Structure 1
Amino acid sequence: MAYDLEEQEQIDVIKTWWKQNGNTVLLGVAVFVAIVAGIQGWRYYQHQQTTQAAGLYEAFQGAVEKHDVKNVRGIAGQLMEQYPRSAYASRAAFIAARSNYEGGDGKSAKAQFQWVIEHAKSDEIKDAARLQMAGVLLDEKNHEEALKLLDSKHGAGFDGLYADLRGDVLLASGKSDEARAAYQQALEKMDPSGGYRGLVQLKLDGLGG
């Protein structure tokens, strides 16, 4: 195909530009394609991880309902090890910790509550794990460590429960006046219509408050 002089000049300019910049353009396209593929691959991986974790958690719930302690512990451990970033792992660890504690295995319970505190994405489940851990420490008469946990930052919704358990720890430490103040604070923070509030009131009445 014949080109006139002006067209030939334009073609030559394009050829020259491509010769100078073609590799850069191709590299840019390759990088873009790699990024897109990477994003899609990561999304697929995350989807697979979530699906697999959900399947395990379903089996975990079944074990909980059947009171199958062995599988509760085993599946919880699997979720914690293989899918630590999933919400399912922290939930399973929390429930397994309670199961271990009720079964007399305080050491495993504390390790799992600590795992939840360090790995859970939900602030609420972290706060609940700290509260449970403090309760275990109270039973072990480790009052100092229990108070440290209860003094840690937590959501406002937990103020009443934290103050109540703090009162229990202080009372067990022989600090009746401080315990009375903690119970009073718990009453102030709790819903007046809540059933648990009555128990706190009984504790306070028992101290003459």
Structure 2
Amino acid sequence: MASHLDLEEQEQLDELKHFWKRWGDLITWVLIAVLGGYAAWMGWQSYSAKQAAQSAALYDTVERAALSNDMALLDRSVTDIKDKFASTTYAQQAAMLAARLYQDKDRKADAKAQLTWVIDKASDEGYQALARLRLAALLIDDKAYDEARKQLTAKAPEAFAPLMADRLGDLAMLQAQPAEAVQHYKNAWKGFEPNAEYRRLVAVKLAALGADPEETPAVESKK
């Protein structure tokens, strides 16, 4: 009986050896890939959490500098967060905040540089569009109309289209192009929600130009 069991055990062992000889390497590499992927995922999670915490701390410094008007601290902290955590939302928010303060302090070149950085580096299209609107306003103040138009006609999320159109209307008015201004304002008016306060402002601009936002072009009758 014992010899019979020993024989069965030997056969099972031989089968296991044969199986492992055939599939052992593959199983080993699959396990390595799975465990390696899990380790990489855990490492990335840890890295991301650390990045978020450090960038949040630096953004707090940027905010504190802005509130206290400490321009030297603002300059350093904005540079730090952009250099170390450029891909984070905090860096984009910091650059936008710095641009606003630089504009208030009549540091237009610095404000433009921050907004340009957001346009070039931000991963969020909403931040990019907002930066384009603000940069266009600065360019319009400098009478750099062609550059402003490039910003206002660049690709942007649909939600920003009415704002871009409204600003293009303002630009057309500054260039003594009332017909173009009316068209841009109409596009803006159509793009805003019916109860949007901004829509009423656009309607006032159209009224000043003698245009009705709901007016549709006349269709010529066929002869």
Give the TM-score taking structure 2 as reference length. 0.78
Q: CA deviation at 1:129?
A: 0.9
- Paired residues, number: 209
1:101 to 97, 100, 103: 103
Structure 1 distance, partners of 2:205, 2:72, is 37
SS in structure 2 opposite 1:51?
A: helix
Deviates more, 1:129-138 or 1:104-113: 104-113
Structure 1 distance, partners of 2:159, 2:98, is 24
Q: Which amino acid aligns with 2:30?
A: G
Aligned residue for 1:181?
183
Q: Which amino acid aligns with 2:128?
A: K
Aligned residue for 1:134?
136
Identity %: 33
Structure 2 distance, partners of 1:25, 1:91, is 48
**Structure 1 residues 26-105: aligned runs within 5 Å:** 26-105=28-107
Q: CA deviation at 1:204?
A: 4.4
Task: Give the superposed CA RMSD.
Answer: 2.7
Q: CA deviation at 1:197?
A: 5.1
Structure 2 distance, partners of 1:21, 1:152, is 56
Deviates more, 1:82-91 or 1:164-173: 164-173
Cα separation, partners in 2 of 1:10 and 1:150, compared to 1, 3 Å: same
Deviates more, 1:175-184 or 1:52-61: 175-184
1:149 to 148, 151, 156: 151
Structure 1 distance, partners of 2:87, 2:36, is 26
Q: Which amino acid aligns with 1:141?
A: K
Structure 1 distance, partners of 2:158, 2:40, is 41
Structure 1 unpaired stretches of 5+: none
Structure 2 distance, partners of 1:113, 1:91, is 10
Aligned residue for 1:169?
171
Residues 81-103 of structure 1 deviation map (CA, whole Å, 9 limit, x = unaligned): 11111111111111112222332
Q: CA deviation at 1:11?
A: 1.3
Q: CA deviation at 1:78?
A: 1.6
Cα separation, partners in 2 of 1:9 and 1:170, compared to 1, 3 Å: same
Structure 2 distance, partners of 1:200, 1:21, is 72
Give the TM-score taking structure 1 as reference length. 0.83
Cα separation, partners in 2 of 1:64 and 1:13, compared to 1, 3 Å: same
Aligned residue for 1:122?
124
